[in-house]
Every structure is written in C-alpha cells, then in structure tokens.
Amino acid sequence: MKLKTQSITNIILAIFVVMLGCDMLDQSSTNSTNDFDFHLDIDPNHIDQDGEITAIYSIRNNTSQKVKMVSGCVQLARGVVYKDDQIIGLEGSGDGCFSGISTHKIGAGENLELEWQIKPFSVRYFPDDREPDTTFADPGKYIFTVKPDVFELNKEEKRLPELERTFIIE
C-alpha cells in the first residue's frame, strides 16, 4: 500500500512539474540551449490605433561552426497575432506559409534576425474594383507568437521553439 501511495504521489508531482513548465514557457520571450539563444522583443508593448509595433525575433548561434537550417516555407518563421486564442490578421502579421524549401545559415557566434512591423488593423482586399475594407483592432491584450517553420538543422531533424510576447492596443 505504501508503494502505491508513493507512486501516485510521484505521478501527481510529475504532472504538476510539467504543467508548471508549460506555464513558464508561455510567459517567456527567451529560450536558450547550449548551442542557441532564441529571443523575441516587441517595441513598444502599448500602442493606440495610430501606432505600430516592431517585433524582432533573433537566433544566436553559440557554436563554433556555421549552422544551416532548412524550412518548409519560404520564410524561416511566421509572426502570428492572437487575441482570446483566435488568430487576428493584423497588418504585418500572418499565419500563412508560402510553400517552398528555403535554407538559412548562421555563422559561428552570429545572430539571425527576423522583423515584423505590426499595425493595429486588418485590410481585406477584393478581386473586383471595390475599395479595400479596413477593420481596426479592438482595444485589449494581444499575443504575438513566432512560429518557426524549421524542420532540419545541420541535416538533423529539429524543431525550433515558439516564442510569444504580449502587447496592448489602447
């Protein structure tokens, strides 16, 4: 009986640690391994309807050799905006993958940066001669998430971590 109780306690503790780790990853804008540092910065993190946010995602190669990353999309990563777990197509962001294999290289000790200019509105274009429809984002809290599309790193199957940052539209 004592062995079962200890096993159940260990299982519950393991589940708690995993859940706690997930929460910590969700709040983080930096992720590091021995070989790479991943960082996401948003400036500013509060804007009004006339503002613009710059999101910069950087990967630092901490190794002593050049690395080659292969993506299943033309871009290395997608910059996606969410509000209340829904994708919000703000100008400058997007969840679309332009299919095509692409290669990205980072020299030893160097950085690779991607940048998005996010504006607090979306524009819907029509195939006919109608004027585009512009919709301004509602005030509130939004989450910018970088979704890397890398599937291979130096000829080994590898996924890069997603990073997210919160910003406010007033």
Instruction: Decide: helix, strand or coil at residue 17.
Output: helix
Please name the CATH architecture into which domain 31-169 falls.
Sandwich (2.60)
**What was the pLDDT predicted at 9?**
39
DSSP code of 109? T
Does 163 have pLDDT greater than 90? yes
Pair 163, 145: CB distance under 8 Å: yes
Going from the C-alpha of 134 to that of each of 58, 117, 130, the distances in angstroms are 31, 17, 12
Instruction: Decide: helix, strand or coil at residue 56.
Output: strand
Task: Identify the CA nearest to 40 among candidates 51, 55, 60, 50.
Answer: 55
Cα dihedral 36→114→27→97 (10° resolution): -110
pLDDT, tens digit, for every residue of 25-65? 333 366 666 789 999 999 999 999 899 999 999 999 999 99
- 96, burial (CB in 10 Å: exposed 0-12, middle 13-18, buried 19+): exposed
**What was the pLDDT predicted at 29?**
62
Q: Say what the pTM is.
A: 0.77
**What was the pLDDT predicted at 129?**
84
Give the Cα separation of 150 and 152 in Å (integer): 6
pLDDT, tens digit, for every residue of 103-144? 999 999 999 999 999 999 998 888 888 898 999 999 999 999
Pair 160, 147: CB distance under 8 Å: no
Percent of the chain, pLDDT > 90? 65
Edge-first strand listing for the sheet containing 156-157: 99-106, 67-73, 150-153, 156-157
Instruction: Decide: helix, strand or coil at residue 145.
Output: strand
